[in-house]
Amino acid sequence: MKKVLIITHSRDNICIDTVSGFINEMGGEPIRFNVDQYPLDYMLTSTYHRKQWKVLLDTGSKVHDLTDVAAIWFRRSFNIGQGIAEVLEKEYVEPSMGEIKRTIYGMLEALNCFKMERYSVYRRLDSKEEQLRVAERNGLLIPETCITNNPAALRSFMEKQGAPLITKMQSAFAIYRGEDEHVVFTNELRPDQLDDLETLQYCPMTFQEKLEKKLELRVTIVGGEIFAFSVDSQRIDNAGIDWRKEGVALLNDWQPYTLPGNIHRSLLGLMDEYRLNYGAIDIILTPDDKYYFLEINAAGEYFWLDRLCDHAISKHMAAVLMGEAYRRD
């Protein structure tokens, strides 16, 4: 029986159960590793003895032998080491967290099996600049872009654009005030706001031309299969810049979308260059029918689209993990 290790967290959504169900149907054994429960609830042990490695995951209810896992799905690693700050003295928290992360990520890199994806690939994808370069190299249009911490360079870029800009962070970003989470979305930057950006020097940001939108596309690629959907985000004022601000209101507006052949090929070329087997890609279709690549996320969400295609995304995810569909080894 093939074992599939799923790296996630205890509050992840229904997609974990859906993919796990398909893995079971295909004769495999899904093993869920909630990283927020390590190390307080879980124990992980790697041992080298008599020229053999053995890796055991003890979840409290069962001990899993990970030595012979056939595949790893690195879904999410949110809240890794949760609760450590409550059980350790303050000066020990940071070094302990460092060891916790090195232990998990080191184990994942070291296991000799198929990985979707490697932790090192996730870190490479943190660079939105490289993403844009790779996308353009594969024939995709990209927005005019400036990544800087220099207010003068930003002013010069805005003058050349002659229009409002879009500003965003390179990674998922939230500010926490007490127990409240304030997600930093993509926003519009107008010329009259430039005087408020002197603190830009302390935190580089990404600025791009503001593209007019006919449709927004979310393209999910699993192995060699493409699942494309579109939404008219412009029908809701607050979703015009970043549809995620009204994600719930737009939930039922997404429609299956057929990509042109050249865009289809370019996106697969992008996946090939990164050696990715899963990617959630954001694209803008402009009123003159041009497709602009924005970014790719190797841990991007897809569950709300999965229900629109009878869970075909999750089923293909399971097939790739089980080695029953094309994958980039």
Percent residues over pLDDT 90 in the chain? 72
Q: Say if domain 212-321 classifies as CATH 3.20.20.70.
A: no
CA gyration radius, the chain: 21
Coil/strand/helix, residue 11: coil
Q: How confident is the model at residue 78 (pLDDT cuts 50, 70, 90)?
A: confident
Within the chain, all domains assigned CATH 3.30.1490 are found at 144-209
Q: How confident is the model at residue 181 (pLDDT cuts 50, 70, 90)?
A: very low
Amino acid in position 296: I
pLDDT band at 200 (very low <50, low <70, confident <90, very high): confident
Is the per-residue pLDDT at 246 higher than 50? Answer: no
Find the length of the chain.
329
Assess if CATH 1.10.15 describes domain 144-209.
no
Taking the C-alpha atoms of residue 281 and residue 297, their distance in angstroms, rounded to an integer, is: 6
Identify the pLDDT of residue 175: 46
Q: CATH topology for 3-116?
A: Rossmann fold (3.40.50)
3-state SS of 231-263 is ECHHHCHHHCCCHHHHCCCCCCCCEECCCCHHH
Residue 231 pLDDT more than 80? yes
Q: Is the confidence at residue 244, as pLDDT, over 90?
A: no
Mean pLDDT of 36-62: 97
Q: Report the DSSP beta bridge partners of residue 74.
A: 7
Instruction: Tell which wins on pLDDT, 303 or 168.
Output: 303
Region(s) of the chain under CATH 3.40.50: 3-116
- Min mean pLDDT across 72-81, 132-141, 173-182, 319-328 is at 173-182
**175: which residues sit within 8 A by CB, 6+ positions away?**
181, 182, 184
pLDDT band at 221; cut points 50, 70, 90: very high
- State pTM to two decimals: 0.90
Q: Which of 147-151, 251-255, 273-277, 306-310 has the lowest mean pLDDT?
A: 251-255
Band of residue 237 on the pLDDT scale cut at 50, 70, 90: low
Q: Give the residue-averaged pLDDT of 142-148.
A: 95
All CATH 3.30.470.20 domain ranges of the chain, comma separated, are 212-321
The pLDDT of 191-207, averaged and rounded, is 78
